[in-house]
Structure 1
Amino acid sequence: MPPPPLSLGDGPRLALLYAAVFAGIGVAMPFMPLWLASLGLGPERIGALVALPILVRIAVTAPLVGLIDRGIPARRLMVAGSLGLAATYALMPAAAPLGWPVLAALIALNAVGAAPLVPSLDYQSLAAVRRDPRLDYARIRLGGSLGFLAASLLGGWLLGLVGTGSIPSFLAGLELAAACGAALLLRGAEGGPPRARSSGRGRLPAALWLAIAAGAAIQASHAAVYAFGSIHWVSLGLAPATTGLAWGLGVVAEIAFFALVGRVPGLRDAPFRLLGLGAVAALLRWAGLLAASGLPALVLPLQALHGLTFGATQLGVMAALSRLAPEGARGAAQGTSAACAALASASATLASGVAYRAGGGSLAFGLMLPVAGLGLALTLAASHRSRR
């Protein structure tokens, strides 16, 4: 059941909420491993604890976000999830001395809280865009990229002053802010009782399944660069500062794409063109990083393709969900997409680790080429199926 209108100014309010949600991600992703290392945990245990939330999200995202189709408002899921994140982050320093199994249980609960946040916000944003054609999902989602970048920069500066021990408390504060943001910015977005569905109404069409799989494959092809990009580039002779610049350039390219794509004729609300653009850019990017082994100067311009490999793919999947998901199953579709992306990324990350250990960066990046190619093939299949 689609949520009722929020109010005037939906776009800015949703963009602010994206910024609040992604601020926590922008601190947790780069800095939580540092906190785990400060506890004296070894690399293998840290790796297991970092991978644990991915496994949890694969299992719980679709069922949790599917509650929207049963009448649980997205706003309520977001408030509950953010409060759960705040509570688990606040308890982590006390849990750490009790042993890593206790900490692992808390991290798993933390992942349950995080699982519905972004898909629920995407659901709410796509509903707003369908109601008001003047709204642009890309511009709204831009808030998340800006929030991620700002929080990463501010978090690094702040933690340099107060130390890594404050990371869980800092994250707890950010998640409390996100809970307040969801409660206030989505006020009035509560839905009524769920409508009865016919027996076939909740089925996702084949074209949407193919588009979800295409997006998951293209995003999963980032696994090698996410896990081993910095290590590989430093081994090629790039200075750590240049490596940091390369990552920053990718985020800036993503922000620029979200800001400008609405002005490009034929791309807005064109899911298969966007997915195809993301897949082709991924093929170019990973092939270029193979060549960069002999020419490290290629790394910086290739990172600018992140705006397409991530940004165009993200927008393509969202456009497909908005266009093809049936009423009464939009929440389930949103959760299914997030779970499929997590499963594909986890699998690709494990495979890239094996490849990097066996043949270094060249083999790892080379392995991502067929993954991106699979994304392109699935995109073509989805486009063909949608015309039938």
Structure 2
Amino acid sequence: MTPAPTIDGRRAGRRLALFVALVFATVGVYLPYWPLWLADRGLDEPAIGLLLALGVSMRVLVGPLLARAADRRGAHARLLGLLSLGVLLGYIAHLAATTFTALVVLALVCGAFWAAIMPICDSLVLLHAGVHDLDYGRIRRWGSVAFLVTTLSAGFILRGRSPSLVLWLILTPLALMVVAAPLLPSPPRSDRRAAPRPISALLRLPWLVIFCGASALVYASHGVLYGFATIHWRSLGISEDRIGLLWTSGVLAEIALFSVGARLLTRLRPLQLALLAALASVVRWLGLATVTAFAGLLALQSLHALSFGAIHLAAMAYLHRSLPPESSATAQSLFAAATSGLGFAGGFFAAGALYGRHGGDAYLTMAALAGAAALILVVVDRRWPAPRL
């Protein structure tokens, strides 16, 4: 039986859960509704896809460097506060952006500040989970709850109103992130004794590179969903509040997954869970390419628990079990660079071109990407089921 968290552990868990919730409250507005704000400014699908791709590409260029700085200095909370402030100021600047060039610059700036926020936060949660017997999945589920609440609320707020409100809905949780960051606990002292591994040393681990590459394909396969699902569903005659329900139904399933994540990982190896995520992605994208009825879409969206939630949970467990704690944030950022960076950037860029030409049939390409990821994960599971550095 897992010991109960100490008083200090419970306090750390609450503060970490609060910050995670605010991060995903921001994402809960950005992912479904930021494309509407951009479309309202007169941008077409390829331009929207480009801006989304530019933002997440900064996770490749900037994220690992910032995360390594957090590992070296143990200044996770301070760095998260500065990065949150940078993102907030970047989105405030959108109020004055009147040209496409300005939007490109701001996408890069906001993407750079956002690049390491989630990897550093994940690292901090995992470090405290190891010391205070906290359950990563139970803390992370508060992010899913916040995503659900903000997505659903934003859908109701935006119904019949101008998409220009989307920017203000993003600024609110960003401001609260700036306030909450100083309350975050520092990394446990025991996890900061050894020097972190260089980024180059981690990149020489074949299992890490191949696993991150396969995961990147799963993330990339979400490109059409995150970039154009809201626009596609509107074209099917689905109202904004029902679109909010479609997004939140997936997150409800994700919350359930994170609630039982620790128990699930006692029955399945992390790589087995990752393979299940890739296969569920194939089913989800094939369904979204053909189903137009609201009830059917609602059922398919519940697969979000596996297509996204399971791959994230599997990766956190695989990396945490395989790598030393002093390299935690750096490893998380490399995974984020591959998945949320290269994966999402490639997925968004391809989605912009594919959806502009083929509409909902663009999901078929996404299914092919997820299928390729499944094949690679089978190989990784056979060669490196439980590596240790």
The two structures have a TM-score, normalised by structure 1, of 0.83
> For residues 203 and 248 of structure 1, what CA distance do their matches in structure 2 show?
36
Could you tell which deviates more after superposition, 64-73 or 26-35?
26-35
Could you tell which deviates more after superposition, 312-321 or 23-32?
23-32
Match of 1:135?
A: 134
**Offset of residue 252 of structure 1:** 1.5
Q: 1:44 to 1:339 in 2, by over 3 A?
A: same
Match of 1:8?
A: 9
**Offset of residue 197 of structure 1:** 6.0
Could you tell which deviates more after superposition, 169-178 or 259-268?
259-268
Match of 2:336?
A: 338
Stretches of structure 1 lacking an aligned partner (at least 5 in a row): none
Q: 1:256 to 1:40 in 2, by over 3 A?
A: same
**Offset of residue 386 of structure 1:** 2.2
Match of 2:216?
A: 216
> For residues 38 and 355 of structure 1, what CA distance do their matches in structure 2 show?
21
Given candidates 17, 21, 24, the residue that maps to 1:22 is 24
Match of 1:186?
A: 185
> For residues 35 and 198 of structure 1, what CA distance do their matches in structure 2 show?
41
Match of 1:303?
A: 301
Could you tell which deviates more after superposition, 78-87 or 281-290?
281-290
**Offset of residue 46 of structure 1:** 4.5
**Offset of residue 20 of structure 1:** 1.2
Could you tell which deviates more after superposition, 176-185 or 153-162?
153-162
Match of 2:317?
A: 319
**Offset of residue 103 of structure 1:** 4.2
> For residues 151 and 289 of structure 1, what CA distance do their matches in structure 2 show?
23
Match of 1:372?
A: 370
> For residues 57 and 77 of structure 1, what CA distance do their matches in structure 2 show?
15
Match of 1:292?
A: 291
Give the residue type in structure 2 aligned to 1:12: R
Could you tell which deviates more after superposition, 373-382 or 38-47?
38-47
Give the residue type in structure 1 aligned to 2:8: S
Q: 1:166 to 1:185 in 2, by over 3 A?
A: same
**Offset of residue 40 of structure 1:** 5.2
**Aligned residue pair count:** 378
Match of 2:148?
A: 149
Stretches of structure 2 lacking an aligned partner (at least 5 in a row): 1-5
Q: 1:37 to 1:199 in 2, by over 3 A?
A: closer
The alignment status of 1:109 with 2:109, answered yes or no, reads yes
Match of 1:206?
A: 206
Helix, strand or coil for the counterpart of 2:202?
coil
**Offset of residue 319 of structure 1:** 0.8
Deviations 1:227-266 (A, max 9, x none): 3445555666767665543333212111222123334473
Q: 1:35 to 1:255 in 2, by over 3 A?
A: same
Asked if structure 2 preserves the Cα contact closer than 8 Å seen for 1:73 and 1:191, the reply is: no
Give the residue type in structure 2 aligned to 1:77: L
> For residues 113 and 20 of structure 2, what CA distance do their matches in structure 1 show?
16
Match of 1:49?
A: 51
Deviations 1:21-76 (A, max 9, x none): 11122223334444445555566554443332122233211222122232252212
Could you tell which deviates more after superposition, 375-384 or 78-87?
375-384
Could you tell which deviates more after superposition, 19-28 or 333-342?
19-28
Match of 1:67?
A: 69
Could you tell which deviates more after superposition, 191-200 or 170-179?
191-200
Give the residue type in structure 1 aligned to 2:298: L
User: Quick one: percent identity of the two aligned structures?
Assistant: 34
Q: 1:369 to 1:101 in 2, by over 3 A?
A: closer
Asked if structure 2 preserves the Cα contact closer than 8 Å seen for 1:75 and 1:183, the reply is: yes
**Offset of residue 140 of structure 1:** 0.9
CA RMSD of the aligned region, Å?
A: 3.4
The two structures have a TM-score, normalised by structure 2, of 0.83
